[in-house]
Structure 1
Amino acid sequence: MGKEIDSTITFQNLSQKNMSFEQVFQHIITFMKKDPSGNFRLMFGTDSQVFNHYTKFITGIVIQQERKGVWACIRKVTVPRQMLNLHERISYETTLTEEVVSMFTKDHKEQLINIVIPHIYKGANFTIEGHIDIGSGKKNKTRVFVKEMVSRLESIGLKPKIKPESFVASSYANRFTK
């Protein structure tokens, strides 16, 4: 018995608003079935922006077929206060990413993997990544959180990516936080 997905959680992109998780999942399946022998990356990442009276969080879901395009959507969450503590904000970004990833049950992941499996010998591939908007550079204030956030994503089966490779968080989601 799978856990129920919160039906109040909705996703959107430039062409569709108020998508349910199941609609998002169907879009991913359709995208992958178009050319199942591709090299696919299912990526998740969250970014945030602090405003005067609230903090906006955007979680992106991106399915990419290398050199063949992407399908993507976002989830928007607003916290009704300024979240100025950097650790709290980075931790909450990671929590929101984990929350969306958890909607992809074992069954969902198996359905996606099964699209690619017959094409493995033709070079097909499927990876799941968690993108964190933090970096390990000496000047980066977030470098002290890298180990903690990377461990959290590894513990739920994701391949963690930090800056400069975390483009779902630092570029895609970032665009919608403004």
Structure 2
Amino acid sequence: MGSAKEYNVTFQNLSQKNMTFEQVFQHITNFMKKDPSGKFRLMFGTDSQVFNHYTKFITGIVIQQERKGVWACIRKVNVPRQMMNLHERISYETTLTEEIVSLFTKEHKEQLINIVLPNIYRGANFTIEGHIDIGSGKRNKTRVFVKEMVARLESIGLEPKIKPESFVASSYANRFTK
């Protein structure tokens, strides 16, 4: 994987368009620095929607401080065909999440950890989660992919979350796929 510049990856939210990865990272660090003794969750997740001539994928990045608010943005990717195969679509959602997580280098993660580190004894906390829009319920068609996708996210150091805990994929990103 190359840098965000090589991929020409841009992000947006309701107040800003065409943010670079470095701008996104700056927003996350600024958000955390406001209250470095907070409990933070950095969460990633992708959802998709099939349309007539393309499939839209939305990857969300959310930094949440427990009971204090969030800052979030999305990346949009359109594939110029209908991806009807469920395994292919779920797998590509996971790939897009992995791609964005890969932009957060060891140095980036250390910078974020170092914001809360001096405050650990005062309850500060920092976790990184990967949210997958799949569930393990008996009626859920995606349950057969749970082990595979969870293992992929664990292998890159994320704490995987599936439905109903995977709200970045199933709620936040989902809103922008419509």
TM-score normalised per structure 1:
0.98
**Aligned positions, number:** 177
Tell me the distance in 1 between the aligned counterparts of 2:2 and 2:48. Answer: 28
What does residue 9 of structure 1 align with?
9
Aligned to 2:36: 36
Q: Aligned to 2:62, what secondary structure does the other structure show? A: strand
- 1:144 corresponds in structure 2 to 144
Query: What is the aligned partner in structure 2 of residue 64 from structure 1?
Result: 64
Instruction: Give distance in 1, aligned partners of 2:131 and 2:32.
Output: 21
Q: AA paired with 2:149?
A: M
What do residues 75-124 of structure 1 show as CA deviations (whole Å, max 9, x unaligned)?
Answer: 00000000000000000000000000000000000000000000000000
What letter matches 1:135 in structure 2? G
* Same amino acid, percent of matched pairs: 87
Q: How does 1:1-178 map to 2 (within 5 A)?
A: 4-7=3-6, 8-178=8-178
- Return 5+ residue gaps in structure 2 as ranges: none
Q: How much is the aligned-residue C-alpha RMSD, in angstroms?
A: 1.0
Q: CA shift at 1:3, angstroms?
A: 5.0
Superposed CA deviations along residues 2-51 of structure 1, whole A, max 9, x for unmatched, are 95323511000000000000000000000000000000000000000000
Alpha-carbon distance between aligned partners in 2 of 1:31 and 1:38, rounded to the nearest angstrom: 10
Distance 2:3 2:143 in 1: 36
Q: TM-score, normalised by structure 2?
A: 0.98
Q: List per-residue Cα deviations over 1:107-143 (Å, max 9, x = no partner).
A: 0000000000000000000000000000000000000
Structure 1, gaps ≥5 residues long: none
Mapped partners of 1:16, 1:4: distance in 2: 21
**Hey, what's the Cα distance between the residues in 1 that align with 2:4 and 2:28?**
17
